[in-house]
């Protein structure tokens, strides 16, 4: 089933008119269109930041379908939430976007280029990822933050490290602390700062606050929203929390049994029509 977030591409089923429903995200995308149109003097829509085309995956062990033709176009500078029942393929979808598994040729594009044609390490710098549990290296917080740039021969200054910590909603004084002394909430924000050190264009977040207390969750959410506002970060976030999605996402994809069955604005989630999606939403917190 085909679902597109790009407001210029109409829904194939006619059920979802995103051009009317997207609100601020649509406005933003339209503003971008005007700029592109002015420059290029043609009417083609802007290339989405990420485009997934008919992405499929089968289980290597059982042959069962895990993703069944997922199509979605994510505009730049937008926070897209992915929710759905456990086992519906959310992590599998997210992991395709930076080649933690190899998607079929032509099924995942970044700025219009097949991600398979990009150097995988370069891709992962551009498309950073955070998982449910942060995994920091031994050493200080600063060592962790410096890691990515160091691989490219760049040594971040103390000032740059501190800026990255602030971007991730952390106290700059944390830089000299050992990574083993952090709370999970702090560690997750250090993991975010470490990802941001690579200057990513896209963040993939797989339930990044599931292991965190409400305050740490709020810290992470604030950092993500600030990154959107200040750096026009494109974010795709899997969450088990409908409330979280309603707090921060511009658009929500509902994934059920390997298919995107609805794409909605968070404020309109109650309008979901798919029976499984409705049931999931009713039972969710």
- Among 123, 114, 22, smallest CA distance to 75 is for 22
Per rule CB under 6 A, is residue 98 in the interface with ligand ADP? Answer: no
91 lines the binding site for Mg ion (CB under 5 A): yes
How big is the site for ligand ADP, counted in residues (CB under 6 A)? 12
Q: Which does 234 bind (CB under 5 to 8 A by kind): Mg ion, ligand ADP, none?
A: none
Choosing from 5, 33, 91, 209, the residue that interacts with ligand ADP (CB under 6 A) is: 91
Print the binding letters for residues 144-163 with ligand ADP: x by CB under 6 A, - otherwise. Answer: --------------------
Q: Which helix (H) or strand (E) holds 99?
A: none
92 contact, one of Mg ion, ligand ADP, none, CB 5-8 Å limit per kind: ligand ADP
- Considering CB distances under 5 to 8 angstroms, the limit depending on partner class, which of Mg ion, ligand ADP, none binds residue 285? none
| Near ligand ADP by CB under 6 A: residue from 61, 157, 230, 270 | 61
User: Under the criterion CB under 6 A, does residue 88 sit at the interface with ligand ADP?
Assistant: yes
Rg (CA), the chain: 19
Binding of ligand ADP by 66 (CB under 6 A): yes
Per CB under 6 A, which of residues 13..42 are in contact with ligand ADP?
none
Q: Is 102 in the site for ligand ADP (CB under 6 A)?
A: no
Rank residues 108 and 165 by Cβ distance to Mg ion and give the closer one. Answer: 108
Q: Which residue from 213, 249, 204, 209 is spatially nearest to 108, judged by alpha carbons?
A: 204
Residue nearest to Mg ion (CB): 91
Dist. CA 90–CA 94, nearest whole Å? 6
b/e burial code for range 241-272 (CB count within 10 A of at least 16 → b): bbebbebbbbbbbbbbebbbbbbbbbeebeeb
Q: Is 96 helix (H, G, I), strand (E, B) or coil?
A: helix
Nearer to ligand ADP, 24 or 59 (CB): 59
Q: What angle do CA 132, 260, 30 make, to 5 degrees?
A: 95
Q: Residue 128: enclosing H or E segment and its boundaries? A: strand 127-130
Backbone angles phi, psi at 119, to 5 degrees: -65, 130
Could you say which of 71, 92, 179, 217 contacts ligand ADP (CB under 6 A)? 92
Q: Rounded to an integer, what distance in angstroms lies between the CA atom of residue 131 and that of residue 195?
A: 11
- 66 contact choice in Mg ion, ligand ADP, none (CB below 5 to 8 Å, kind-dependent): ligand ADP
Query: Rounded CA gap, 95 and 91, in Å?
Result: 6
Closer residue to ligand ADP, CB minimum distance, 165 or 253: 253
Q: Which residues bind ligand ADP (CB under 6 A)?
A: 59-61, 66, 84, 86-92
């Amino acid at each position: 089933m085909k679902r597109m977030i790009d407001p210029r591409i109409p829904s194939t089923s006619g059920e979802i008119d995103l051009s009317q429903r997207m609100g601020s995200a649509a406005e933003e995308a339209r503003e971008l269109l005007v700029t592109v149109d002015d420059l290029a003097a043609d009417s083609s829509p802007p290339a989405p930041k990420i485009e997934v085309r008919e992405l499929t995956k089968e289980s290597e062990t059982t042959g069962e379908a895990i993703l069944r033709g997922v199509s979605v176009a994510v505009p730049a500078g937008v926070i897209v939430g992915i929710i759905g029942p456990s086992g519906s393929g959310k992590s599998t979808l997210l992991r395709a976007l930076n080649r933690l598994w190899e998607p079929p040729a032509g099924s995942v594009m970044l700025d219009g280029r097949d991600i398979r044609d990009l150097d995988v390490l370069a891709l992962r710098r551009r498309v950073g990822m955070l998982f449910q549990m942060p995994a920091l290296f031994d050493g200080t917080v600063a060592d962790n933050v410096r890691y990515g740039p160091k691989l490219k021969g760049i040594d971040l200054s103390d000032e740059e490290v501190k800026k990255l910590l602030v971007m991730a909603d952390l106290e700059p004084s944390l830089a000299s602390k050992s990574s083993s002394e952090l709370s999970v909430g702090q560690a997750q924000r250090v993991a975010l700062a470490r990802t941001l050190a690579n200057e990513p264009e896209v963040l993939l977040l797989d339930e990044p606050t599931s292991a965190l207390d409400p305050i740490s969750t709020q810290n992470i959410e604030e950092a993500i929203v600030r990154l959107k506002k200040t750096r026009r970060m494109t974010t795709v976030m899997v969450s088990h929390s409908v409330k979280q999605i309603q707090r921060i996402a511009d658009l929500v994809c509902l994934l059920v049994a390997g298919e995107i069955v609805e794409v909605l604005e968070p404020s309109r989630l109650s309008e979901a029509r798919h029976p499984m999606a409705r049931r999931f939403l009713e039972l969710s917190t």
